[in-house]
Amino acid sequence: MDKVAFDALYREHYRRVYGLCRRMLGRTVDAEDATQEVFMRGYRSFGRYRSQDPFGPWINSIATNYCIDVLRGNRRVRDLFSADAEPDEAESPLENGAAPLIRAENAESVNQAVEALPEQYRLPIVLAYYSDASYDEIAETLGITRNHVGVLLLRGRKKLRAELASQISQEN
């Protein structure tokens, strides 16, 4: 196995994979360990990787599956989404026309708020907006329906807004 070639790919894609692991796993798991494990898995199955395909999506899918494995623990991943959350007061409607709560200046707190989201909302949001996965891809990865993906994304963003709004009101 070509360790040198793999090492170069590792350096190139490390931060991206680390970001995915950190966002998917949230605060409970050490993302650095997870990233090492992802590349370890990639290294082991490097023989099956076809070099004409881009490496990014390939290692990305390994990372996604690994993180889901970690989160699943002993549960089946479907169980993560079986409890269809009731809409609650914490959801905040989009203030039409108002300045969005998400701004480049508060990137840090937005990322933190995403990491603090419950898994069932965090995973679709990370897959959709970090990995740029389509509804179909997310549905397949998480083992849920396409429609469910849309609902979870909508609710997840509402929760995110509520969280950011409460942060801002605390600051003031």
Residues found near another protein in the complex (CB under 8 A): 3, 6-7, 10-11, 14-16, 18-19, 23, 32, 36, 39-40, 43-44, 93-98, 100, 102-104, 107, 110-111, 114, 125-126, 128-130, 132, 134-135, 146, 149-151, 153-154, 157, 160
Complex with another protein: residue 6 or 49, whichever CB lies closer: 6
Complex with another protein: residue 52 or 171, whichever CB lies closer: 171
Smallest distance from another protein to CB 40, Å: 6
Smallest distance from another protein to CB 164, Å: 11
DSSP string, 117-143: S-HHHHHHHIIIIIS---HHHHHHHHT
Structure tokens at 162: 């509520």
Q: How far is CA 115 from CA 5, 28, 34, 98, 123, in A?
A: 33, 9, 15, 25, 10
Complex with another protein: residue 16 or 72, whichever CB lies closer: 16
